[in-house]
Amino acid sequence: MLDALWLIPAAPLAGFILILLFGRRLGEPAAGYLAATMVAVSFAVTVGVFFDLLGNDEHHREHVLTLFSWVPVGDLQIDMALLADPLSITMALFITGIGSLIHLFAIGYMHGDPKFSKFFLYLNLFVFSMLMLVLGENLLVTFLGWEGVGACSYFLISFWHTRPSAATAGKKAFVTNRIGDWGVMLAMFLGFTTVGSVSYGALNHAAEEGGIATSTATGIALLLFVGAVGKSAQLPLYLWLPDAMEGPTPVSALIHAATMVTAGVFLMTRMNPMLAAAADWAPEIIAWTGAITALFAASIAVAQNDIKKVLAYSTVSQLGYMFLAVGSGAYVAAIFHMVTHAFFKALMFLGSGSVIHGMHEEQDMRRMGALRVMMPVTAGTFIIGWLAIAGVPPFAGFWSKDEILLFTLASSPVLYVIGLITAILTAYYMTRQVLMVFFGEARWESHAEDHGAHGEFRPHESPPVMLAPLVVLAGLSIVGGVIQLPSFGIIPKGWRHKLEDWLHPVVEPGEAVIKGTSAYDAKVWLAVLAIVCALSGIALAVAVYGRRRLRAIEPQLLADGWRYDAGVSAFMGGPGRRAFDALARFDARVVDGAVNGVATLVASTSGRVRRLQTGNVRSYAGIVGAGVVLVLIWFVIVRGVL
Partner 1 sequence: MIAQSTIADYVAPGVDWFALSPYLVPAAGALVLMVVGALTPTWPRGLYAAFTAACAVGAGVLSLFVWDDITDGAPGTLVAGALSHDTFAHLVALTVLVATALVALVTDGTLRGTSGDGPEMYALMLVAAVGAMVMGAANDLIVLFLGLETLSLALYVMAASDRRRTASGEAGLKYFVLGGFASAFLLYGIALLYGAARSTNIGEIVEYFQTSVPTERNDALVLAGVALLVVGLGFKVAAVPFHVWSPDVYQGAPSNVTAFMASVGKAGAVAAMARVLIVALPFHRDDWRPVIWVLAVASLVVGSLLAVVQTDVKRMLAYSSVSHAGFLLVGIEAAGHRAGEDAAGSGLQSVLVYLALYGVLVVGSFGVITVVSAARGGSSDLASFDGLAQRRPVLALAMTVFLLAQAGVPLTSGFVAKWGVIQAAVDERSYAVAIIAMVAAVIAAFLYLRIMVSMWLKPADNDDAVAVPGLTAVAVGIAVAVTIAVGVYPQWLLDATDVVSQYAR
Residue closer to partner 1 by CB (options 492, 640) is: 640
CB 405 within 8 A of CB 369: no
Q: Considering just the CA atoms, what is the radius of gyration of the chain in Å?
A: 29
**3-class DSSP state of 210:** coil
Q: Is 470 exposed, middle or buried, given 0-12, 13-18 or 19+ CB atoms closer than 10 A?
A: buried
Helix 464-479 with 86-109: angle, nearest 10 deg:
150
Q: Which is nearer to partner 1, 454 or 608 (CB)?
A: 608
Pair 256, 287: CB distance under 8 Å:
no
Please report which helix (H) or strand (E) contains residue 533, including its range.
helix 523-541
Alpha helices by DSSP H, listed for 359-375, are 371-374
CB of 604 to partner 1, least distance (A): 10
Q: What is the closest distance, in whole angstroms, from the C-beta atom of residue 642 to partner 1 in the complex?
A: 11
Cα 436 to the center of its chain, rounded Å: 29
Q: How far is the CB of 606 from partner 1 (least distance, A)?
A: 4
**Could you tell me which residues are beta bridge partners of residue 106?**
none
| Rounded CA separation 434/173 (Å) | 29
- As to burial, measured by CB atoms within 10 angstroms (0-12 exposed, 13-18 middle, 19+ buried), residue 284 is middle
Peptide bond between residue 469 and the one before it cis (omega within 30 degrees of 0): no
Among 319, 146, 167, which Cα is nearest to 244's? Answer: 167
Which of residues 582 and 632 has its CB atom nearest to partner 1 in the complex? Answer: 632
Torsion of CA 133, 259, 390, 351, to 10 degrees: -170
Which residue, 453 or 630, has its beta carbon nearer to partner 1? 630
How far apart are the C-alpha atoms of 120 and 118, rounded to whole Å?
Answer: 5
Beta carbon nearer to partner 1, 550 or 636: 636
Answer for the pair 549, 542: CB distance below 8 angstroms, yes or no: no
Cis peptide before 236, with omega less than 30 degrees from 0?
Answer: yes
Which strand (E) or helix (H) includes residue 69? strand 63-73
Q: Closest approach of Cβ 478 to partner 1, in Å? A: 57
Element spanning 275, H or E: helix 272-277
Least distance in angstroms from the C-beta of 600 to partner 1: 12
Backbone φ and ψ for 74, nearest 5 degrees, come out as 55, -125
The minimum distance between CB 635 and partner 1, in angstroms, equals 4
d(CA 410, CA 517): 7
Residues that bind partner 1 (CB under 8 A): 599, 602-603, 605-607, 609-610, 612-613, 615, 617, 620-621, 623-624, 626-628, 631-632, 634-636, 639-641
Considering the complex, state which of residue 210 and residue 627 has its C-beta at the smaller distance from partner 1. 627
Cα–Cα distance list, 16 to 101, 123, 160, 520, 587 (Å): 17, 8, 20, 48, 42
Is the Cβ–Cβ distance between 180 and 229 less than 8 Å?
Answer: yes
Measure the CA–CA gap between 330 and 412, rounded to whole angstroms. 13
Q: Which letter does DSSP use for residue 375 in this model?
A: -
User: Which of 453/624 has CB closer to partner 1?
Assistant: 624
For partner 1, the closer of residues 490 and 641 by Cβ is 641
Nearer to partner 1, 492 or 607 (CB): 607
Cα 308 to its chain centre, rounded Å, is 17
- Which residue, 547 or 610, is less far from partner 1 as judged by CB? 610
With respect to partner 1, which residue has the nearer C-beta, 55 or 74? Answer: 74
Shortest distance, position 599 Cβ to partner 1, whole Å: 8
Closest CA to 379 of 436, 302, 441: 436
Measured CA to CA, the distance from residue 24 to residue 70 in angstroms comes to: 33
The distance of closest approach from Cβ of residue 69 to partner 1 in the complex, given in angstroms and rounded to an integer, is 15
Which CB sits closer to partner 1, 515 or 610?
Answer: 610
3-state class of 494 per DSSP? Answer: helix
Residue with Cβ nearer partner 1 (532 or 628): 628
